[in-house]
Structures are given as C-alpha cells and as structure tokens.
Chains A and B, each alone.
Chain A
Amino acid sequence: MKLASSKKVLEKSLTRRKFLKISVASGAGALLGANLLEKVSGLENSLRAGKEADYPLNNPENIINTVCLQCNTGCGLKVKSLDGLVVKIDGNPYSPWTMWPHLPYKTPLAVSAAIEGHICPKGQSGIQTLYDPYRIRRVLKRAGKRGENKWISMPFEQAVKEIVEGGRLFSGITGEESRTVEGLKDIWALRDPKVFKEMAKDIKEIWHTKEKEEKEKKVKEFQEKYKEHADKLIDPAHPDFGPKNNQLLWVHGRLKSGRSEFFKRFIQDSFGSTNFHGHTTVCQGSLYFTGKAMSDQFDFDEKDKKAKWGGGKKFYWQADLTGAEFVIFVGASIFEANYGPPFRSNKLTQGMVSGKLKYVVVDPRLSKTAAKAWKWLPAKPGTEAALALAMTRWIIENEKYNLKYLSNANKASSKADNEPNWSNACWLVKIKDGKPGEFLRASDLGLEKSLKTKTLKDGTIVEYEFDNFVCYSGAQAVTFDPNDADNSAEGDLFVDTAINAMKVKSVLAIIKEEAFRFNLEEWAKICGLEVKDIIEISQEFTSHGRKAVADIHRGVSQHTNGFYNVLAWYTLNLLIGNFDWQGGLSQPSTYDNAGEKEGKPYDMGKLHPKKIPPFGISIIRHDVKYEETTLFSGYPAKRPWFPMASDIYQEILPSAQDGYPYPIKALIMYMGSPVYSLPAGQTQADVLADINKIPLFVASDITVGESSLYADYIIPDLSYLERWEFQGSHPSVIWKVQPVRQPAVAPIPEEVEVFGERIPISLEAFFLKAAQIMNMPGFGRGGFKEGLDLLRPEDYYLKMAANVAFGDEKDGSKAVPEADDKEIDIFLKARRHLPQGVFDADKWQKALTPELWKKVVYLLNRGGRFEDFEKAFDGEQLKNKYGKQINIYIEKLVKIKNSITGKGFLPAAAYLPIADSQGKAIEDEKEGFDLNLITYREIAQCKSRTISNYWLLSLLPENFILLNSRDASRLGFNDGDLVRVISQSNPQGAWDLKAGQVKPIVGRLKVIEGIRPGVTAFSLGHGHWAYGAKDILVDGKIIKADKRRSAGINANAAMRIDPYLKNTCLEDLVGASVAFYDTYVKLVKV
C-alpha cells in the first residue's frame, strides 16, 4: 500500500542516519572503554514481549522502594523496573517527603504499588545518574601527571594491593621514576588499642596543663614513657599530633549513616586515624554549629565527672510548614533547593491558596519561592543579622515578645507552664570591662555550691558539686539548676544592675543592646530595605502566637558572619517561643540504626574485636583550643583553629598543603568534589595536583569528576540506586523516620572477590579487600566478633536495618510487624533482577535471626520506617520534641579565643561586617569590583553530580550570570553577552586547574528584573570540565567528551581568597562555613 511505503520513506529519511550514528556509537563505547563503560542490559527481554500490553509498572513485583540522593533531601523513591532496567522513578507513598499525608505504614504493598508520590525533576532523572554512559566499571590508575586525565584500567585486586603495599607505583611517569609511595600498611603504624587509650589520656593531661614549663615537662615525660613507640608518632616533639595513622586522611562529600559507620570502621576503628572529615561547611556549617552551641546543656559529664556545657547536637531547626501561618524564609528557596522541594512545596502552596498561610522571602534574587510570596525583600547579602536585629528591636520596643516563656529559667518553670523547652534568656551574665563574660554563679554571690549525685550507666553513684546559675526576679537574685525539674526559677527579662558591686546583665538585656545599636532607619539602610516592610513583617511575625516562624538556610549561614546571622534569627524565633510548636521550629527525629540504644539487636559500634579510639589534633584543628596544644606560639596562628565546629571542608586540603599541624601521606576521598564545589576551588586543585603534599590519592567515584580527576587511583563506586545507606531525616520533617536506601538495580561496576565472596566493586569492596590484605581486625571472618563474620556489605547493613525494624524500645514493643508469606514472596520477586553478588536470599537471611529477617523484609518493602501521619502532633505542640534548654547566650564563646587575632568572640546575636580571617573588612567594592556575587540553586541541577542527567539539561541546557537591567544598562551589557568574572583574588578570571589547564570563568548574561541591583548570581551545577565534559584517555584510547556537559559557568574560582591564608576561601571562624556570598566581582565583556 502506498501509505506503508510512504511511511517507510519517512522513517528512512528521518531515522536511518540517526540510528546509524547510534549503533556506531554503541560499538565504539564497548571498544573504547574496554568494557569500562559498558553494562548489562535487560532490554532484550523487554523487546521480546508482545505488542498488546498490560501496564506492568504498578505491579509490586516490579517495584523497589528506596531513597533518593540526587540532592541531600532524602525523598522516598519508588523505583520501577522493566526486565531489570530501571524505567521510571516516582515518590514513595509511605514516605512523608513524597506524599501528604503519607500512607499508613501498614498499607499492603498491592495498594501502595498503585499510589505514587510526588518527586522533583532531579528525582525523576536519577535514571540518568545510574545509566550515565561515562560511569566507570573498573579501577582506573593514573598514567600521566596528576590532572592530565590519562589512565589505565586495572584489576581491582592488583590496585588494592598497590595502595596497601606502596612502592614505586608511578615509575612509568616522567618525574616520578624514583618516587616511592608509602602504602596504607606503612601508615598504619600504631595498632594496639590500649596504647591509643593511654596516649590519649596523657595528651589530655598535657593539654590541660596551663603553665608552659609544666607542659614541656609533661611532653618530655610522654616521650620517655612511649620511647618504644616514638617511631610511630608523627612528631615526638608534638605528641598531640598523634600517631602516624593520622596521616591517612579521609574526606567525604555526601555521606549518610550506614556507609558512614562502615567507612569509619575502617579509617578510625581499625586503622586508627582521627582524620575522618566531611563537607558540612560547604553546605550550611554555621547553621549546624550554631545549632550545636545552642543545644549544649549544662549537665554532669560522665567523662570529666563534673557538670559542664556539653552534649550539643550537630543539628539545626527548621520551620514546620504543616501548621505555620506566617513564615519568613531567609536565604532559603524551598521551591528550588533547601530540604526540599517535594517535602515542603505543597505545604506552602496549599496553605497559601487556602488563605491559612502567608510568607515572606528575604533573598537578593527573586527565587521561584519569592515569586509567590506576600513580600519579596531583596536584602543586601551579608546583612541577614541586621534584619533579625531590626525586628528584634521592634519586638522589644513594642513588647511583643512572649514574656511568660522567656521568663522561664529552668526545666521546672517550663514544665509548670506546659512549655516544651526553656532558654537562658533571663540568666544573668557578669560584665567585665563593659563586656559580657561568664554567667553569674551562686558562688559569686557567696553562696555554697550544692552537692548532687548522679547514677552512671554502669550503676555506680557519683557525687559532684554544682554551682547554681542566677536570674533576677523583682530585685531578688534567684539561683537555680537549669535541669531541676522540681524547683522552678523565673527571671526578669531586661536586667542591668550590680549585685555585690558586680556588674551584671541579663542575656536579653545584652541582646537588646545590640538590637538598639541602630534605630530602624539605620538597620533598614544597612540591609537595603524599607522601614515600612520591616515593621509590617515584625507585626505579622508577632500576630500568630507560636504559628509564626523564620526559616533560615544557606543564605544566612554561608557568610564570614554566618554563625552570628544564624544566632540572630534563632534568637528572633525564641522571642515568640515557637520551638517545638506546630507551625514553629522543629527538629529531626530518627529511628536508631547504629543500635546504640539499650536492647537493640546489634550495637554496631561495639561489634568490633579490636577497636581503636583515635586521638590527636585533627588536620582541621577542630574540637580543641589552640592555646592548649603544644603548637601554641602566640597569635596569629598559622591557620585558624575551630573549637566550635567539625567537618570543615575548605580547611582539609589547604591544611595538608601547609603541613599545619602536620603533613599527610595518603588521602581517600569519597563522593566529594572540593575543586568543583568550594569557593575558590582552584586552591583545592593546587593541593590535589601536588604529589609532594598528597603522596597517595585514592578517590571513590562513579565517574571521573572534577576532583577525582587528580587521583592516583579511582575506585568505581555504586550509585545511590545500587547500594545501601540510612538517610536519616531533616528538621522540617516532624515525623520520626528512617528512610532506607537499598539496592534497587543490578550494579553497573564489575563484580570482584573479597574474602571469597563475589560482590560489586564499591568502596565497601575496597575496604574489605584492603582489610583482607592487611589482615586488619574488624573485617572478614569474625569481623564483628568470634563467629560473626563481616564478609559482604549486607552483613553490615542488614543488621542496621534490623535495628530500625526493631524500634527504639528495649523490649521490642515498637518493632515493625513481620512480613507475611505474601509480602516475602513480593520481596523476593521484586529482586529477581538483582545478581547474586547483590542479592542472595540465603545469605541475606543468614545475616539475621529468622524473626528479625521477616521484620526487615517488612521494612525494606516500604523503603524504610515512617511514623504514621497523626502521630506527629501533641495538641498544638509537636510530638517529637527537642524538649531541652535552648542557649541564645553561648558561654563557651567567651572562654575561647580567635586563634588569628587573639581576641575573644561575641557570645550572643550580633551584626558583624563581612571580614577576612584577621577580622579586616573586605572592601573590594571600593577597588571597582562593583557587583556582589552570589550563587543559588535551580531545581534542575544539584552542585557537582547532576550534569549527566540529560532530561535536566533539556530543562536548563546552560546556566547564566544574572544581572539586573539597571546594572546592565549602567555597564553597557546586553542580554546574552558573554562576560568574564574577575575579582580581587582572581584578576585574570580563570580556573587554574594545573597540568597546564586553564579554564576562563566566562558565562552568558541574563538580564532580568528579579535581582537586587548591585548583585550578580549564577546557579550551581553547570560549567563542568570533567564528569564527561572532557576527553579522557583510558588504556591509550580516547573516550570523547560530551560537550553538553561543559555548558554554562561555575564562577567559584572568582570567589575571594583569604588574604592571610592565601590558599583558602573566606570563612566563618566560629561556625566554619565558607563564604559563598561575600565576594565582589567585576564583569568584563568577552
């Protein structure tokens, strides 16, 4: 028939050329990559099926519920497969992230299979992270200079052997012919846990010795005592550097529970290195570490056997949008980023449309969230605290604070008012030389310390002294114990007086002084906002009881003044007492997977036959005071010390470069890309490219990324859809949860052998193999304990899953139900496409007891554990409460010093100008750098790892440099112009990537109205030069790049380098955040 032939013509003309191209490409892929990038296909089966089709994707046997990791929100996923191929990803309807309200946990699988939750475009596109044609399947070893992108592929076992044994590993590379690399076995110097324990104790002694001479004497004693171990220390002259083991450095990007404990098991528990560091400060460090300081409790410390500040959690609070009536989002765009669009968006849109909720967005850019706000307040970046303090001033002047709540000084008073928590707002502080210092104590008033007793975990009873705190009530000093649940203490809020000739002020009086430092007009001018708007939002903020809230994120914390910005906004929230109330601030709540709680099936931390407690100053100098160490030599210190923070990403590699406090020998980097992600990331490339500073560099990655590019070895890893993890929760999620990430698809990387088992190549496989070669305790036969083996990843993760399934009551009364036969059948069938290396039903069952096994099946069938919808509420309060003291005055801060300036830190909310590490204001604006550079997130990208997602690229093929039309006309720019970004510390406007590679910082202008004049922005995620964006040479063959992946701009390299440190971006010396928004740049037409 004519039609038939014409259709043929059409197809020929349209598609033959294309399909030829495709088949050539696929042949080439297999050949070029030498099986490196090829994968197993289930497609043939699916093509064999008949034409008439039943829809197979809501069949529970084609579904595995798991957890996303395209960003860090942790949305529940429903992964649908067709003949072993992942074809569609939806939201998991059991998870509160992706369904509102979520399904009751007991909902049968047949029902939930037909119900889909919502998931953002990145979540949908995860298929393309999994099936990225540039994924690596075999170990790559460097075959050129660091960063040259020349590789050879090699057998896994040989690679691990080389890394463990060391030697002349790169003798074929020019300049490295005679370089000998120390392997892991050499760095694993000290191995006896007892010696670790003893040394750690003696080091603490040294640190607690104040007198210099006495300290030196103690060091000598140490040297004498551990003479036989002298060769195992990094530097006997500085025993507090710890053992050589600390010269193995671990750095991670996105790491969640489960994998975290597994990897720590190797690095810390078995290898004994203290240097296990994450990336928190590139995300929202100062938010976390303000939360940590604010959640410290003054209570008995079991280790020190005395009452002290401690126990603060590295966490933060977020707004509960299920109940809020008024929300101020500051530097947080929940429709595009934050934690996260699928979980938070619908609460806001629904509240808005129903008229229940109104919100404001403070952001220099008109984000998608701001576009729908009642008010968009484009404040000047870096002035976040100023706005909070302006509102604080208005609230105090108009007496709109929650007097009753703020007056509660301790647990008893809050209990009496049915308040879920209390603060130190009314506590009295001693004023010395006009400056607020330590809290006033009963002993200051001549009163005796009280004697208290504490029953320890092992049952012994200890007596200890307690010096009460003081508040002031009607001209009477009232002393109290904050944790006293019986004797109530309430104080006046604004106290400025003298007691026994001692000048004292209440905490709120100190905060008031800061808030009254400027009047509203002055504050408004600092922020670049209108007084009228500040008053209106203050009125609204104080007109909804506890159902008003300020929700803050990166825009607040990622400044040099981040810690104080955060503290100012949380203090503002505290004024209306909204913590733990529905519609106020909430905290995360999770089911314990590590098994630390009493009665749990597996206490993973204890299941180790020879666990080492590492010690010594970390490479990032955290959790210790500079002045106490043997390295103290006055001010400024060579690099800053961070007693209030951890996981200080930007400090790790530059510290290794400076050898401060000591040089390192080997680096293992997991799922991180400091070069791409950090401000002034080129400073990180400097270190990674240097074989003298990082003699051995092992990276774990799913492809060759911007940082793994410099590695000596890249160990292929599993993507998040192929592996295990326990995602945990986020503060905005008010339900108790534990989403479980589990293998949902056959792995792409090759299978290897460890301890006689076949498992996919992965970082677990690497550590298992390394432990096997080194005969290291904690892995292999008897790895947990006599008779309990750790041979496969499941041996570990299934036990954690069992802990979650068991629940957090010691009698098991809060366990999940056991899966019935039908559910077990679905469980097995849904995993029929997984190879034995991943899923072997017998081996899985053997990792657990039969009863636990059935509970675990029930748990895994639902992608984790999620409390039922109605369980999160306790009247007007939230059920999963923080429930303790909240500090808005951080006493610890008056007891530590800035290690660069030698000056003290402020203890409460304050507005500080943007400054470098020496405290000098950054004034590049005066030198003609006229635009304040900020970054933001489009929903269609997520930092360093989503450029492989072509569906996302179809939404946003390139990113732009945003500029207000006023600036564009002032500068003579047009929409679409290509411009170079230059700054004071990068006047040439280029990424110096070493190995002779320079990439200009050039992007396309988008001239818009929705950005504050004077501010310019680019979104994170584009502008790649690796990750498939560049040709790579493997085994002598070129794997061609995909140009689409290099589109757009990453202008991080223009961000300001600290003038004192010279190899690190600007940073917050308290909360340790990096400064993403504090650089002034100039745009130059290309």
Chain B
Amino acid sequence: METQEKKKFSRGDFLKMAAVAGTSCLAGAMLNPRDTAARGDDTLEAPAVDLSSLPPEIVNKNELLKMQQDLQRALKKPRGARKWAMVLDLRKCVGCSACTIACKAENVLPPGVVYRPVMDEEVGTYPRVTRRFTPRPCMQCEKPPCVPVCPVKATHKREDGIVAVDYDKCIGCRYCLTACPYNARTADFGEAYTEGTPKVQDYELRPSFEYKKKWPRKHGVSPIGNARKCHFCVHRVEKGLLPACVTTCIGGATYFGDNNDTDNLVSELISRPNITTLKSELGTKPKVYYIWG
C-alpha cells in the first residue's frame, strides 16, 4: 500500500509543488509564529466521560478500557506533564490494516495521504518462510528532524511531545516530507476517491476535527495543500478517547498512553527488554516503540 500511495504524491503535481515551495521558502522567514491560543489547541479539557463506573473485573481483562482509564487520569495533569507514547507489539499485529483505514476515516484523508501504513514483508525461503507486518505511524520524535526544516514553524513539537502541523501556517513546501527519516508525512493534493465516478461523495468532503478544529474539505482551505501526518488523534485524546488506530486494532497490538505515568500499561511495556525503536541510530528518539518478539 505504501508504495502505491507514495507513487501518487511523487508524480503529477510535483513540479508545481516544487516551484511553490521555492517561493514560500523565502516568504517563511518573514513570519511571526502566532501564539498557541490561536492554534486552538491549548485548552486543558476535562475528560468527556467518566469510565470509573465500569466493573473492575471487566476493565482488568480489557486492555483498551485500561488504557482509556489511564488516559483519562493523565488528562487531569497539565499538558506539559504528559508524554504521550505508543507501543506496537509486532507479535500481535495481524497485518489487517484496520488502523490505516480507521485513520483515513477519522481524519478524512484523501488519496495519497496516509498516516499509518502497515508494511507486509515476506522473510525466508520455502518452506522456512514467514511474514512480518509493521505499522508505521509518525514516530513523534523527541528530536524531530521535521521541525527545524519547517520555514514557517508550522511543524512544531507540543509540550506533551506530539509533533503537530499548524495547518493555518503550513505553506506546503514539503521540506518536512524529505526530512522525515520514517516517510511519515504525505502531502494533501485535494484529491477525492470518488473523483471520476458519477458523483464525488459527501463523506469525502466532510470536515475533520484534527487539532480540535473543524477542517472542511473545501477549495482554498487547509489542510488541502498542506503536509499531513499522524498526531496521535490529539483531538480525541484530549477528549478522553484513545487514538482511532488503537481502538480499532483487531490483534490488540497497539498501545497508547502517558509515558510520564509510571503506573500504566504503556510505561510498563516500554520498560521491558524486548522494546526497541525504528532507526534508533539517528538519535531522533521516537516515542513510538516496537516489540519485535
């Protein structure tokens, strides 16, 4: 899948894109970053729903509910005291790509934009052969290579560690796409899946709620034309909900939580010896961890 999506954005509008990127690069230096309030993502919201009424014997057996309770506890702290992290237990990933599609639907991603592909590789020779499935969201790096290259400071690291894109600022130069060693970013060309059919369907034009704002898919309006990436569904997280890829994981392979909280599932998994990160040699310090086996 990744191959296909990548092909899409490396063709077609590439030249135009590059030209524009040149212009905006110059313009970028003149910018003053807006204050965080204008981004609309600074409020500390109380959890939407209290899950404490659920019977503990069910919660204890149910990792999703456990994580959601952990998450709601974390939301009681100031944002700067949280450190969101994700763990992908590859032993449990069944390669179904439900996460890829859940993310597409949740964040209204058009063709060419994918936040969370899942790689499917065959390893070995018959009959000693297996397959490896690897979901690859944004690593939300501690030292994100995408941040310094952004000429307009649209890409920034939030105090809770999430690497975010300010759609109002992004000029679509795509420097960040090149800078990311994980290919975690894609560009939104404003396409629609139902283009070329009798009618483009409304579900493709509906607004997303990324970064807790409403982003209708409309000509001249962000995020069309922007670089886009996984943001741990922060609009859900700060409402007390788990990211869409976590809740939909049919193998139970995706874990999410506050790594500053030593008493939760994610922190426990991260402390185990079989944990690792992708391309750790680059020193990007991902906050997405993998359990290989």
Contacts and interface: CB of A to CB of B under 8 A. Distances in A.
A676 B170 CA distance: 47
A127 B61 CA distance: 31
Contacts of B101: 121, 124-125, 951-952, 955
B73 interface: no
B95 interface: yes
A13 B219 contact: no
A133 B197 contact: yes
Given A18-B189, A111-B54, A114-B48, A346 B252 contact: yes
Contacts of B98: 118-121, 123-124, 342
Nearest to A340: B250
A133 B207 contact: no
A529 to B, nearest CB: 10
Contacts of B194: 131, 133, 950
A51 interface: yes
A13 B203 contact: no
Majority SS at the chain B contact face:
loop
A114 B69 CA distance: 11
Contact of A134 (B91, B97, B198, B253): B198
Interface stretch (A87-95, A191-199, A202-210, A218-226): A87-95
Contact of A47 (B100, B169, B216): B216
A345 B105 contact: no
Contact of B92 (A342, A349, A965): A349
B197 A335 contact: no
Interface stretch (A371-379, A554-562, A704-712, A908-916): A371-379
A1028 B197 CA distance: 9
Interface in A950-981: 950-952, 954-957, 964-966
B225 A350 contact: no
Contact of B48 (A41, A58, A1008, A1039): A58
A9 to B, nearest CB: 6
Contacts, number: 328
Given A58-B49, A82-B206, A1009 B16 contact: no
Contacts of A100: 61-62, 252
A353 interface: yes
B162 interface: no
B271 interface: no
Nearest to A100: B62
Interface in B96-116: 96-98, 100-102, 104-106, 111, 114
A869 B51 contact: no
Contact of A14 (B17, B124, B241): B17
A121 B100 contact: yes
A124 B248 contact: yes
Interface string A118-140: 11110111011001011000000
B125 interface: yes
A91 B13 CA distance: 38
A858 to B, nearest CB: 18
B203 A87 contact: yes
Contact of A366 (B130, B195, B203, B212): B130
Contacts of B240: 114
B105 A89 contact: yes
Interface size range on B against A: 35 or more
Interface string B118-148: 0000101111011111000000000000000
B189 A131 contact: no
Contact of B193 (A41, A951, A955): A951
Nearest to A369: B94
Interface string B51-88: 10111011001101100100000000000000000000
Given A131-B201, A371-B131, A1028-B197, A6 B24 contact: yes
B11 interface: no
A43 B216 CA distance: 10
Interface in B205-242: 205-207, 209, 212-214, 216, 218-220, 224-225, 235-236, 239-242
A42 interface: yes
B190 interface: yes
Interface stretch (B25-33, B256-264, B277-285): B25-33
B172 interface: yes
A551 to B, nearest CB: 16
A1072 interface: no
A509 to B, nearest CB: 36
A756 interface: no
A15 B122 contact: no
Contacts of B207: 46-47, 49, 53, 82
Contact of B1 (A13, A15, A955): A955
Contacts of A9: 20, 23
B233 to A, nearest CB: 10
Interface stretch (A32-40, A260-268, A842-850): A32-40
A1008 B124 CA distance: 10
Nearest to A344: B250
A75 to B, nearest CB: 10
Contacts of A395: none
A376 B54 CA distance: 41
B200 A25 contact: yes
Contacts of B209: 53, 55-57
A941 to B, nearest CB: 12
A10 B225 contact: yes
Residue from B102, B106, B191 with most neighbouring chain A CB atoms (10 Å): B102
Contact of B206 (A85, A119, A134): A85
Nearest to B210: A53
Nearest to A18: B190
A124 B58 CA distance: 25
A114 B16 contact: no
Interface stretch (A101-109, A467-475, A719-727, A884-892): A101-109
A56 B172 CA distance: 29
A29 B201 CA distance: 11
B268 interface: no
A85 to B, nearest CB: 6
23 contacts: A3-B169, A3-B171, A6-B24, A7-B225, A13-B17, A15-B220, A18-B192, A87-B206, A115-B51, A119-B98, A119-B250, A120-B250, A128-B193, A128-B203, A341-B94, A353-B91, A366-B130, A372-B94, A869-B61, A964-B126, A966-B126, A1009-B122, A1010-B126
Interface of B: 1, 4-5, 13, 16-17, 19-20, 23-24, 26-28, 30-31, 40, 48-51, 53-55, 57-58, 61-62, 64-65, 68, 89, 91-92, 94-98, 100-102, 104-106, 111, 114, 122, 124-127, 129-133, 152, 169, 171-172, 189-203, 205-207, 209, 212-214, 216, 218-220, 224-225, 235-236, 239-242, 247-253
Given A6-B27, A90-B102, A117-B247, 8 more contacts: A25-B197, A85-B202, A88-B106, A118-B98, A118-B252, A124-B98, A342-B98, A352-B92
